[in-house]
Every structure is written in structure tokens, then in C-alpha cells.
Amino acid sequence: MATLDTGIPVWEADPILSVEHLFMRFGGLVAVNDLSFKVGRGQITALIGPNGAGKTTVFNCITGFYKPSEGRLVLGHGRAPTPEEVARLTLIGERGMVGKGSSVYLLERLPDYRVSGEAKVARTFQNIRLFTGMTVLENLMVAQHNALMLASGFSLKGLFGLPGWNAAQRAATEKAKYWLDKVDLTERADDPAGDLPYGAQRRLEIARAMCSEPILLCLDEPAAGLNPRESLELNNLLRSIRAEHGTSILLIEHDMSVVMEISDHVVVLDYGTKISDGTPDYVKNDPRVIAAYLGVDEDAVEEVEAEIGIDTGGHSTGANP
Ligand SMILES: Nc1ncnc2c1ncn2[C@@H]1O[C@H](COP(=O)(O)OP(=O)(O)OP(=O)(O)O)[C@@H](O)[C@H]1O
């Protein structure tokens, strides 16, 4: 569902993440150029664009791998913070504000381990990064290390088998079992993750991210390398994560069968700049997107560009729509 009853899109009415005037410069290269967009709470948002458009750089800024050159990244747990709350946090130089039922984080001020541990933003990578020598189950248990350490009180409770620790360990095992089942890997639980076929490794990566109970799940090209059947399974998995867990999902994807099928909201980047933002139907029919991304004929590109008054340089998309 892309809109509330009021007709206001969910991403405007209740954003979980607001990207505000984000810039990322590498020397003279402006990889992200004054980018603003919102991610709706409980929605699937796709960030798309030609190769080199700046998508992964945006992910790296959101997840704390890069410190943005400029801009603000506001994450709201529970509800969207008011502009006054955000302005106050910005002014007093705080990284966030934890409240009862709602918290705010300015992600650009957090190191990566706090973005995942406290702000609860999880991510997967374009190139799968599993612990290939560990078993499938161990990968899911390691993902819960933070919760287990908290339960141990960072002490020797675990060695003495104290009740709090035992309960936390049981809960972690249950969660791992749940996600193994969800991604259809229960039978491979004891196999090294590196032995799984590619599509199964991608599912395991998503399961591992979900074991950390994120409120925002960032997926970098989750359908890359998947065959059509696996892409379909991925669509179902992401839909069920949205429906059953209420997790908001932000994904970078070149596979248009995934993007257009499951997204509530699509944001299109080209050369680090936003060129379109709306429902899949809106974006699909936006002439700027057709010209810059969805691959009109080389000859037609100039024509469309002239019509809509932009100049993208007629570059190739590198995408597989
Ligand atoms: N660490 C870095 N240092 C220098 N330049 C970088 C760095 N990271 C990214 N870039 C440059 O920023 C631009 C955007 O790259 P980015 O990887 O974000 O694009 P992308 O849209 O994710 O591309 P793709 O779809 O091919 O993954 C590119 O020109 C890239 O070379």
C-alpha cells in the first residue's frame, strides 16, 4: 500500500528514515549530490539507478561505513520525530535521543557498530559476506552476539550457567531455528555456509541480518546472480518480512522484476542526483527515468532528453531491466 487514506504517501506521512541534503565527495568527485528522500515505515523502498549512480555510497553513509561530507540522516524508532526534535538534536550536537516508545538517531553522527547495534539498521552487501567456514547455524548465532553479550552482563555468567544467560541462549537458538525455516535452510543447518549454492547464501545473508532484529533492513542487490525462480522466492521472502515483522526495507536492485513487483516506493538516482521519486507506476512512466535508466534506444535517448529538457550524456545504463 503506497498511500494512507488521506492520499499522503506513507513515506511522507510516517518516514522511518529521512535522508536530507546528503552529499558525499571523494576528492573532486561528487558521488552523492544534495540527495533528499524518505523511507516509509513498514514499506519496501527501492533505490535504483545506472551503474555508478551513487547507490552503494548512499548505503555506506546510512550504515556508518562512510561519514557523509554533508547532510542529515534521521532515523525514527516508533514514530517519525518532529522537525523541532530534530532541530534541537542537531543544535545541541547529540547523536540521538532515546525515549519511551520512540527514539531518534542522527545516523551521520554514529559509527557503524552503533548504527547496527543501537539504531537497529542491518545491511547485506553486494558481494556476499558470510562466515564461509562456519556452519549455516553458526552464522545465525554469531549475528546475535550483541544480545548474548548483553545477557551475560559482559561477565562470566555464561560459564556458570546462570538463568538469565541460559534463557538468552535458548531465545537465540529459537530465533536461529525460526529464520532457518523461513529461508528454507533447516536441512543445511550444519553445513559450512561456503558450501551453499549462491541463491541459498543470499537467503542466509538476509536471515542473518534479520537475527539482529533490525527496524530497517538495507539490502544491496539481493537478487544479483539469482535465477528467475530464486528471484521469485526472494520477492516472497521480502514481502513476508514486511508483512509479518513490520521491518522497513531499503533495497538497491537492478532486477526490475523484483523492484517493480514488490516495492511500495522507488527512488531513482543518476550521477548522484535524484531524478525521480514515487510509486513504481509513477517512476516507470517518468520520461526522465525512461531516458536515463530504463533503456530507451540509444537514438531515442537524445530525442527524449530534448523533449524533457535534460542532458544525461546519453550514457548506457548497465542495467538489466
Ligand atoms: N571509496 C571511494 N573512493 C572514491 N570513489 C568512490 C568510492 N566509492 C565510490 N566511489 C565512486 O562514487 C561513484 C558512485 O559509486 P557507487 O558504488 O556508489 O555507485 P552505484 O550506483 O552503487 O553503482 P553500481 O550499481 O555499479 O554498484 C562512482 O563513480 C565510484 O567510482
* Domains of the chain from N-terminus onward: 1-120+214-321 (3.40.50.300), 132-211 (no CATH)
Q: Is 110 close to ligand 1, i.e. is its CB under 6 Å away?
A: no
Task: Indicate the pLDDT class of residue 24, thresholds 50, 70 and 90.
Answer: very high
**pLDDT class for 286, splitting at 50, 70, 90?**
confident
Query: Within the chain, what is the greatest distance between any pair of CA atoms?
Result: 73
Tens of pLDDT, residue by residue over 232-258, are 999 999 999 999 999 999 999 988 888
pLDDT grade, residue 111 (50/70/90)? Answer: very high
Query: What local confidence, expressed as pLDDT, does residue 170 receive?
Result: 82
Model confidence band, residue 315 (pLDDT cutoffs 50, 70, 90):
very low
pLDDT at 5 over 60: yes
Specify the higher pLDDT residue, 156 or 9: 9
Q: How far is CA 255 from the centre of its chain?
A: 16
CA of 206 to the centre of ligand 1 (A): 23
Residue whose C-alpha is closest to residue 269's, from 215, 317, 204: 317
3-class DSSP state of 223: coil
Give the CA count within 13 Å in the CB-facing half-sphere of 7: 0
Q: ipTM of this model? A: 0.97
Question: Which residues, 6+ apart, have CB-to-CB distance to 251 below 8 Å?
Answer: 44, 45, 46, 47, 218, 219, 220, 222, 238, 258, 259, 263
Q: Is the CB of 33 under 6 A from ligand 1?
A: no
Q: Pick the residue whose CA is nearest to atom 18 on ligand 1.
A: 54
Question: Averaged over 169-183, what is the pLDDT?
Answer: 89
CB-neighbour burial class of residue 74 (10 A; exposed 0-12, middle 13-18, buried 19+)? buried
- Report which of residues 262 and 147 the model is more confident about: 262
**29: Cβ below 6 Å to ligand 1?**
yes
Q: How buried is 159 (Cβ within 10 angstroms: 0-12 exposed, 13-18 middle, 19+ buried)?
A: exposed
Kindly report the average pLDDT of the chain as a whole number. 85
Confidence of residue 60 (pLDDT cuts 50, 70, 90): very high
Is residue 1 pLDDT above 90, yes or no?
no
**Distance separating alpha carbons of residues 188 and 119, to the nearest angstrom:** 31
